[in-house]
Structure 1
Amino acid sequence: MSDYKVLFLDIDGTIIMPDDTIEDTTINAIRQVQEKGIEVFLATGRPLHEIRELAKELNVHSLIGYNGAFAIYQGKDLFQEPMNKESVKQFIDIAKKNQHELVLYTKDQNIFSDIETDGVKEFIEKFHLHKNDSYSPSNDYEVLGMTLINLKTKDTALYKHEDQIHLSQVNLEGMLHCYDVIRDQVNKGIGVQYVLKHLGLKKENAIAFGDGMNDKEMLLSVGEGFAMGNGHPDLFQYAKHRTTSVTESGIYNGLKALGIIE
């Protein structure tokens, strides 16, 4: 009997290929894992309201969204950690001052600083976002996550006003000017650790696959951490294993190497 009880999978660049499709081998791998009684979590920077269709397609009922700020286990809410409102306001002010755009993710919506710019329209199209609205200063938003849009590399320094927050470049072609805002105490790794504790599992019982720097903490929080072959170059040092790319059956090959699937 396998000691592996839970599998955490990033979505973009890990499950979903650059052409927005999913390889048959990936679907097959997830199905085989589920048949072995291993609980599968989708663990993403995306808001949960934008991944429910994918979860349904993959028959997955456990989710970690907003880079670790919200978790659901078998359809029931486990925890949620909104961002500090003063921090959110500071990010909005810096973005406005420097002609950057940003999106605030709430439990139900994606709130854009300016929904009409080309950069935002491209972002919405790339990630197939549906529940979009424009930011209104009069609204009191409960923000679970945030992505900055239209930044040059040097611009990231403008946002380093807080010690407990760092920026993670979105690891997708055409979206490298976008950065997820990651909290040191709220990230995919912290989310994974919470889930393992809730389920009474050890680190050694868990597997994870990811491709972006927002997956770093998650890969360090499991016994078997896999970086995708197409992963960010800086990610590999944090992974126990390096598998093939998302277009070359990365998840399937990694799980097969562990002897979990055929």
Structure 2
Amino acid sequence: MTYKILFLDIDGTILQPNHSIEDSTKQAVLQVQAQGIETFLATGRPVHEIKEIGDELKISSFIGYNGALALYNGKQIFAEPMKEQTVHRLLEVAKKKQHEMVLYTDNANYFTSLAPPSVTEFIKAFRLRNNKVYQQDKANQVLGMTIIMNGENDQYSYSLEDGIHFSQVNVDGMRHCFDIIRNQVNKGVGIQLLLKELNIEKEQAIAFGDGMNDKEMLQAVGEGFAMGNAHEDLFQYADHKTTSVTDSGVYNGLKFLGLIKE
């Protein structure tokens, strides 16, 4: 098989708990790029917060906000903001339940409040920099949302409208946080649009992920790898299981496909 494109999640896939990237991962990415394989970072994070990670890996193409926006070599391919009514409805419910929320636009992270310790911890965990207090006039610009709940089971107290669901953040210390995922706007749908745009077949695409927001992504490619440290429910959606993010998971997966030369 001739592979033409590679999609890499960030947290728990290329980024270790200490926020560093293994040398083996860097080597693996360089080797596939040298073979002409297009490489994307595909993440729930906002694109404006991941450029430095891209620079470190010499990657300038991104799927961000869990599939709501895609850039190919700096050029925007698509952007799908959330419906204003959905944003308002979720904000109302979160306020009643005393949950904090972060709403991502294409240039900032808007928090319902910057004061609570839970927000401080969230910002520190993901090293977010462009943080502001949310204002209602941003409701039509929201590309993605994360709810910072009080406990891992608080998600069950929400009644979500059709077409959206929660995805638990698969990062230690942040499992009480849940991304809002749209059924028709996610990493998998984003990849399908990109493959069509770039005229690449599904079978020629590879993806690595570790969280449940990677479920659709792994199903949208020909070779989907779940990291060894992945959420236990993700493995059923992957074609392969590789080693963990701290044990050369990306390197070993690409080696399995014959794309790495030692």
Provide TM-score, normalisation by structure 1: 0.97
**2:230 equivalent to 1:225:** no
**2:28 equivalent to 1:32:** no
Once residues 57 and 242 of structure 2 are traced to their aligned partners in structure 1, the CA distance between those partners, rounded to angstroms, is 21
Describe how 1:1-40 pairs up with structure 2 within 5 A. Answer: 3-40=2-39
Return the offset for 1:48: 0.3
| Residue identity in the other structure for 2:136 | P
> Partner of 2:166: helix, strand, or coil?
strand
Once residues 191 and 147 of structure 2 are traced to their aligned partners in structure 1, the CA distance between those partners, rounded to angstroms, is 24
Once residues 138 and 184 of structure 1 are traced to their aligned partners in structure 2, the CA distance between those partners, rounded to angstroms, is 25
Instruction: Give aligned-pair identity as a percent.
Output: 59
> CA offsets per residue over residues 44-65 of structure 1, 9 Å max, x none?
0000000011111111011000
Once residues 102 and 159 of structure 2 are traced to their aligned partners in structure 1, the CA distance between those partners, rounded to angstroms, is 18
**2:161 equivalent to 1:137:** no
Conservation of the 8 A alpha-carbon contact between 1:211 and 1:228: yes
Once residues 230 and 66 of structure 2 are traced to their aligned partners in structure 1, the CA distance between those partners, rounded to angstroms, is 17
- Equivalent in the alignment of 1:104: 103
- Equivalent in the alignment of 1:159: 158
**2:67 equivalent to 1:68:** yes
Conservation of the 8 A alpha-carbon contact between 1:8 and 1:43: yes
Once residues 241 and 154 of structure 1 are traced to their aligned partners in structure 2, the CA distance between those partners, rounded to angstroms, is 29
Once residues 259 and 74 of structure 2 are traced to their aligned partners in structure 1, the CA distance between those partners, rounded to angstroms, is 25
> CA offsets per residue over residues 142-201 of structure 1, 9 Å max, x none?
100000102434321333331100000000100000000000000000000000000111
Conservation of the 8 A alpha-carbon contact between 1:92 and 1:102: yes
C-alpha distance 77-111 of structure 1, shift in aligned 2 (>3 A): same
Once residues 244 and 171 of structure 2 are traced to their aligned partners in structure 1, the CA distance between those partners, rounded to angstroms, is 13
Describe how 1:175-194 pairs up with structure 2 within 5 A. Answer: 175-194=174-193
| Residue identity in the other structure for 1:55 | G
Mind listing any 5+ residue stretches in structure 1 that lack a counterpart?
none
- Equivalent in the alignment of 1:84: 83
| Residue identity in the other structure for 1:126 | A
Return the offset for 1:119: 0.3
| Residue identity in the other structure for 2:186 | N
| Residue identity in the other structure for 1:215 | D
> Partner of 1:247: helix, strand, or coil?
coil
Once residues 248 and 144 of structure 1 are traced to their aligned partners in structure 2, the CA distance between those partners, rounded to angstroms, is 33
Mind listing any 5+ residue stretches in structure 2 that lack a counterpart?
none
Conservation of the 8 A alpha-carbon contact between 1:91 and 1:159: no
Provide TM-score, normalisation by structure 2: 0.97
Return the offset for 1:139: 4.7
| Residue identity in the other structure for 1:142 | Q
Once residues 171 and 27 of structure 1 are traced to their aligned partners in structure 2, the CA distance between those partners, rounded to angstroms, is 22
| Residue identity in the other structure for 1:118 | P
Aligned length: 261
Once residues 86 and 155 of structure 1 are traced to their aligned partners in structure 2, the CA distance between those partners, rounded to angstroms, is 22
Return the offset for 1:109: 0.5
- Equivalent in the alignment of 1:241: 240
> CA offsets per residue over residues 84-127 of structure 1, 9 Å max, x none?
10000011000000010010000100000111100000000110
Conservation of the 8 A alpha-carbon contact between 1:169 and 1:176: yes
Once residues 51 and 63 of structure 1 are traced to their aligned partners in structure 2, the CA distance between those partners, rounded to angstroms, is 9
